[in-house]
Amino acid sequence: MKIPCLTLAALTLALPLPADEGMWLFNQPPGDLLRERYQFDVTDAWLEHLQKSSVRFNSGGSGSFVSEDGLLISNHHVGADAIQKLSTQEKNLLRDGFHARKPEQELKCLDLELNVLQEIEDVTARINAAVPKDADPAAAFAARRKIIAEIEKESQDRTGMRSDVVTLWQGGAYHLYRFKRYTDVRLVFAPEQQAAFFGGDVDNFEFPRFDLDVAFFRAYENGQPAKVKHFLRFSPKGAQDGELVFVSGHPGRTSRLLTVAELEHQRDQALPLRLNTLNRLEVLLGNWAARSEENSRRAHDDFLGVQNARKALNGKLAGLLDPELFSAKVTAESEFKATLAGKPEFADALAAYDRIAEATRILATQAIRSGLLEGGQAFRSDSFGIARTLLRAGEELPKPNGERLREFTDSGKESLELNLFSEKPIYTDLEILVLADALTFTAGQLGSDDPLVKQILAGKSPRERAVELIQGTKVRDAAFRRQLYQGGASAVAAAKDPMIELARLVDAESRALRKVAEAQGEIRQQAHAAISRARNALLGTTGYPDATFTLRLAFGTVKGYEEDGQSVPPLTTMAGLYERAKEMNYKPPFDLPQSWVKRKSRLELKTPYNFVSTVDIIGGNSGSPVVNRAGEFVGIIFDGTLSSLSWDYAFSDKQGRATSVHSAAILEALAKVYPARELLRELRVGRLNR
């Protein structure tokens, strides 16, 4: 994997961004760039339409409205969490698919929240003014937390909209995002997982691909399909080779502006540690799933999530271990530092690099303990997560809004309660399995003789203790949760629930670790802000900040690439699906669903199926609409090539590509494989048939 062009290097030299790089803010779109390079004029109307058609799935992905009656499309794998929660041993919707022919048949998701961005407001000055200069890091953090909570609450009270302050440029700027929030979301259509994720882990992050990775949901308001003004029209023709396309979605997180010290920490400590955990979980869940059909069903979505994360992280790590990528980072940083050196006005920005390195070092010393306790890895289970939320809600909610832990502020309350009171199924056997494993891992990481480990295990083996905790706790009963949440700290204490008491046992140390992380995070944030100010002063304010799971605009062209001396064309066809299945002897994960076997002869096999483009994306962009110049829906992002995994650190379009399902394939499959005529009609006319 070679990364010829790098963000930082480019920024340092103040050259235009190479290739089609960039995850642009909707309030700072790359207008000049698109005009110069593609002769395309980004109008405000075009932007607003795309913005308000775009939907964030709070479970971790993107989507878009595709009819005025609140119909929306995302990836199957983005919706999988919601679909899994609607599945039972008798009705395995994740495996077998689902199709509601009328709104009355649509299934309400248990805890899915969607957000649609309405407004952005720059609040940088107000926040910076509220944080006293020369305050110590803890005080600065507290002041910043307070003003952010204030701004969010004020905005929510005034507009009724979900209001989040988003930290951009690692602290260089703060924007207030206002979202329309939907919490009544219903499942309309899902193909069989085997159609959506044909090729499984083997073909994940590879290309050519043949996946119908889509699912349809509908947003409701007051029990009725939501009426939306902005939605995308499906293009039957879809994306064409060489065409300029745009992606509007929610990239989760990139690390392109991290310093070398931070990247080294990622490379040598953070990523290896996370991979260790992911490998362990993949083996644990995979082998447990193999024991029975029902185990497999229960663990399936978690298992695929772990596999996906493991493959993605291996790709990221490979990127950081690529000397070309890393040395470009080192060079760019030292060149920029050389630019700063000798300029007294940038002395603070120059010194900021050392402050970041020191904060990173301090955080590294407590990383394992912090991940286990505050990160909750020591107690991995839904039961523990709920127990700790109840414990902390009892303690946090009585405090003034601005002094609470971030997840308990007023502006987040609706989302918090949606999750806490979700009636999602939680399986005792799976809970015991993962908790016993987590406790075993904790004993190994901290040593069995660690005093806290001894208290956690309470004289039992990890397995015995896990059984005792999971069987003893009542937090899996939603009524019990409501009662404790409403009863506050005294009700929580009176319940003497063993899992809540475990959360209490570790909470003092856990909060102390978090306090250190917050203070060091504040130091890093201020340091990054200083660097960011220097960068803007020297190079201008062009460019885009690292991804923050908020709406971004990206663009690129539908384009193949070279690999091992072979040219890989940008589009696959439906015929390719059947060829790939045959080539792999139809063995899982290359078996075809019966619907696709039976209806092969009806299909126009030349229909484009999946395609790649040079659009700059990252995890979280899954489900993002791909639109053409006319703003029509021509495809939907669902993956990236292996080379795109290092885009976390630096973009390159040499072999890195974003992978999408083609709009024509979606229409063809809905028309002929499933037949889903009502859905197809709604996509064509843009509204429900009533």
Q: Which of 447, 455, 562, 604 binds a second copy (CB under 8 A)?
A: 447
Cβ atoms within 10 Å, residue 638: 27
DSSP state of 567: E
80, 301 contact by CB (below 8 A)? yes
Nearer to a second copy, 430 or 617 (CB): 430
Rounded Cα–Cα distance for residues 139 and 519 (Å) = 8
Query: Could you give the angle at the alpha carbon of 34 between the alpha carbons of 32 and 38, nearest 5°?
Result: 130
What character string, x for contact with a second copy (CB under 8 A) and - otherwise, covers 189-228? -----------xxx--------------------------
Distance between CA atoms of 282 and 555, rounded to whole angstroms? 35
CB of 429 to a second copy, least distance (A): 13
Which residue in 66, 73, 131, 443 binds a second copy (CB under 8 A)? 443
Interface stretch with a second copy, choices 12-20, 74-82, 288-296, 365-373 (CB under 8 A): 288-296
Is residue 464 exposed (0-12), middle (13-18) or buried (19+ Cβ within 10 Å)? Answer: middle
Which of 130, 347, 418, 584 is in the footprint of a second copy by CB under 8 A?
584
Beta-bridge mates of residue 57: 61, 114
Query: Which range binds a second copy by CB under 8 A, 88-96, 101-109, 127-135, 439-447?
Result: 439-447
Q: Could you tell me which stretch among 356-364, 438-446, 592-600, 624-632 binds a second copy (CB under 8 A)?
A: 438-446
Is residue 425 at the binding interface for a second copy, with CB under 8 A as the rule?
no
Which of 293, 294, 354, 477 binds a second copy (CB under 8 A)? It is: 293
Q: Decide: is 497 part of the binding site for a second copy (CB under 8 A).
A: no
Q: Which amino acid is at 583?
A: E
Omega prior to 208 cis, within 30 of 0: yes
Q: Count the site residues for a second copy by CB under 8 A.
A: 45
CB of 363: closest distance to a second copy in angstroms? 16
Strand boundaries in 50-169, DSSP class E: 54-57, 61-65, 71-74, 98-99, 107-108, 114-122, 162-168
Closest to a second copy by CB, 223 or 459: 459
**In whole angstroms, what is the distance from residue 319 CA to residue 204 CA?**
17
Instruction: Pick the closer one to a second copy by CB: 264 or 678.
Output: 264
Binding flag, residue 60, a second copy (CB under 8 A): no
Nearer to a second copy, 120 or 457 (CB): 457
Q: Is 428 in the site for a second copy (CB under 8 A)?
A: no
User: Phi and psi of 225, rounded to 5°?
Assistant: -50, 130
Euclidean distance between CA atoms 235 and 163, whole angstroms: 33
Select the residue interacting with a second copy from 146, 337, 463, 533 (CB under 8 A). 463
The reply to whether 89 sits near a second copy by the rule CB under 8 A is no
Distance, CA of 64 to CA of 72 (rounded, Å): 5
- For residue 584, the minimal CB distance to a second copy (Å) is 8
Looking at the Cβ atoms of 275 and 671, the one nearer to a second copy is 275
Choose which of 13, 14, 290, 338 interacts with a second copy (CB under 8 A).
290
- Contact between 473 and 498 under an 8 Å Cβ cutoff? The reply is yes
For a second copy, the closer of residues 205 and 234 by Cβ is 205
Q: Report how far residue 224's alpha carbon sits from residue 600's, in angstroms, rounded to the nearest whole number.
A: 37
Looking at 52-60, 275-283, 405-413, 605-613, which segment touches a second copy (CB under 8 A)? 275-283
Helices vs. strands in the chain: H and E counts, helices first: 26, 21
Distance CA 571, CA 560 (A): 8
Give which of 258, 280, 407 is closest to 326, Cα–Cα. 258
Binding site for a second copy (CB under 8 A): 1, 200-202, 264, 267-269, 271-272, 275-276, 279-280, 282-283, 286-287, 290-293, 310, 317-318, 321-323, 440-441, 443-445, 447-449, 457, 459-463, 584-585, 589
